[in-house]
Amino acid sequence: MAEVTIRINVERCTHCGACVATCSERIFAQAEAQSAPEVHEIGRCIACGHCVVACPEGAIEHSDFPQGSFGPLTPELLPSSAQVFELLRARRSIREFQDKAVPNTVVQQVLEAARTAPSAHNYQKTQYVVVQGAETRKRLFDLLVAFYAGVARQLKNPLVRAAYRLQLSRTEVASALRLRSDFEMIGEQVRRGQDPLLHGAPCIIVTHAERDLNFPESNAAIALHNATLMAQSLGLGGFLIGYLVGACGRDRRFAKLLDLPSTHRVYGALALGYPKRAYTRWIKRKALVTKWL
């Protein structure tokens, strides 16, 4: 990886101090108001780009952001607060899909929205696997069914439940026991020819990252929330596949099927497709529980 370089064009710089004020890592320093800022401890740079976009004169030359990698916003395209709120309450978890593929160009728009999400220390390390092929989706479904059938059998065995209590946290054990009937129901529904796991979604986006990153789960969750909002705006629907994430964390066969690096783990999964039915009404959410201090 090339070493980061940051240069201040003194001919353009007006000494406004915007770069000093906006840098969270305190890389810029300004001795006095009428002097150009200087760059210190460049190795601390997290490449957030704040300095580049905050400088009103374009005087910051950053090696990670050459010309063409940044540009002006279009204010007239920004939605109003009412439009944002309407989008948020229009989004629903969708589990009924048309028998219609999602074009790659549309999936790419969803992924671009995910890419804009913030991440801890601006690492931007969340990666994606897009599962669209019918054969791969079938293999993924079959593996999920087999995994949860095995879990259901294990939870019936008191000796296995005792072993779980030794290996897992109290919260994990309680969650597994609480979901036992759901695991058994999965098998019943599959035997009736239903798909209670992927719901026939034509596209599945799986997020993964290195295990030792800071807050990889949060990074993936925020990215996928961005993705769901873009999907809503594109006429798509979907749902977060918690069952898939849980299984991937317990069975390495999923990592092999998804061709993940050995040091990576799955942190999120989103099913996508064109909804079978339109939801034209919003529904009230539970009351806010808020403490103001």
- pLDDT digit string, tens, across residues 179-228: 778 888 898 999 999 999 999 999 999 999 999 999 999 999 999 999 99
6-62, what's its fold?
Alpha-Beta Plaits (3.30.70)
Least confident segment among 155-164, 173-182, 185-194 = 155-164
Fold of the CATH domain 81-134+196-273? NADH Oxidase (3.40.109)
The pLDDT tens digits of the residues spanning 1-36 come to 568 899 999 999 999 999 999 999 999 999 887 788
Dump pLDDT digits (tens) for 29-81.
998 877 889 998 899 999 999 999 999 999 999 999 999 999 999 999 999 99
Domains of the chain by residue range: 6-62, 81-134+196-273, 146-190
Among 183-187, 223-227, 245-249, 253-257, where is mean pLDDT lowest? 183-187
Asked whether the whole model's pTM tops 0.85, one would answer: yes
pLDDT of residue 2: 66
268-293 pLDDT per residue, tens: 999 999 999 999 999 999 999 999 99
3-state SS of the chain is CCCCCEEECCCCCCCCCHHHHHCCCCCEECCCCCCCCEECCHHHCCCCCHHHHHCCCCCEEECCCCCCCCCCCCHHHCCCHHHHHHHHHHCCECCCECCCCCCHHHHHHHHHHHHCCCCHHHCCCCEEEEECCHHHHHHHHHHHHHHHHHHHHHHHCHHHHHHHHHHCCHHHHHHHHHCHHHHHHHHHHHHCCCCCCCCCCCEEEEEEEECCCCCHHHHHHHHHHHHHHHHHHCCCEEEECHHHHHHHCCCHHHHHHCCCCCCEEEEEEEEEECECCCCCCCCCCCCCCCCCC
pLDDT in tens, 111-140: 999 999 999 999 999 999 999 999 999 999
